[in-house]
Amino acid sequence: MLLGIETGSLVNHALASYIRTPKVNDGATEVLWSDRFAGTIIKVEPHAVLWRRDIAKRTDTNGQSECQQYSYSPDPNAPVKTFKLTPRGYKSNTGSYLSIGYRNEYHDYSF
């Protein structure tokens, strides 16, 4: 993920740069410009993974702040998104990247 071109967040840039071998049921985070969506890998193909966003419920009382905590649960009705393996990581056709190995929801309230 190219900082300033594909992401506006240094944290997202660092997270998207970490490539790990995917496994079914692994937590994975879709990394966008400055937001992140938590989800689960539902299928692994030779050069792609299929991912579904989880239900992320905010558990803190910090309001519109940087300090955010969530609990996660599967959402079997969420749409499935495909991320293809590229030299820079797993990338969707919409330009987002997938960071494999953890779930991390984050909403940037600054815009």
- Residue 57 DSSP SS3: strand
Looking at every residue in the chain, the average pLDDT score rounds to 87
In terms of DSSP bridges, do strands 55-58 and 89-91 run parallel, antiparallel, or are they unpaired? unpaired
Q: Please report which confidence band the pLDDT of residue 109 belongs to, taking 50, 70 and 90 as the band edges.
A: confident
- Tell me the per-residue pLDDT of 22-33, one tens digit each, with 9 for 90 and over: 999 999 999 988
CA distances from 30 to 19, 63, 104 (A): 13, 22, 9
Q: Please report which confidence band the pLDDT of residue 18 belongs to, taking 50, 70 and 90 as the band edges.
A: low
This prediction's pTM: 0.83
- Tell me the per-residue pLDDT of 19-67, one tens digit each, with 9 for 90 and over: 678 999 999 999 988 899 999 999 999 999 999 999 999 999 998 888 8
Determine the pLDDT at residue 30. Answer: 95
Ranges assigned E (strand) in 23-103: 27-31, 36-45, 48-53, 55-58, 70-73, 80-86, 89-91, 97-100
57 within 8 A of 70, measured Cβ to Cβ = yes
Domain boundaries, the chain: 10-100
Determine the pLDDT at residue 10. Answer: 60
- Residue 104 DSSP SS3: coil
Q: Which two tokens stand for residue 15?
A: 């997270």
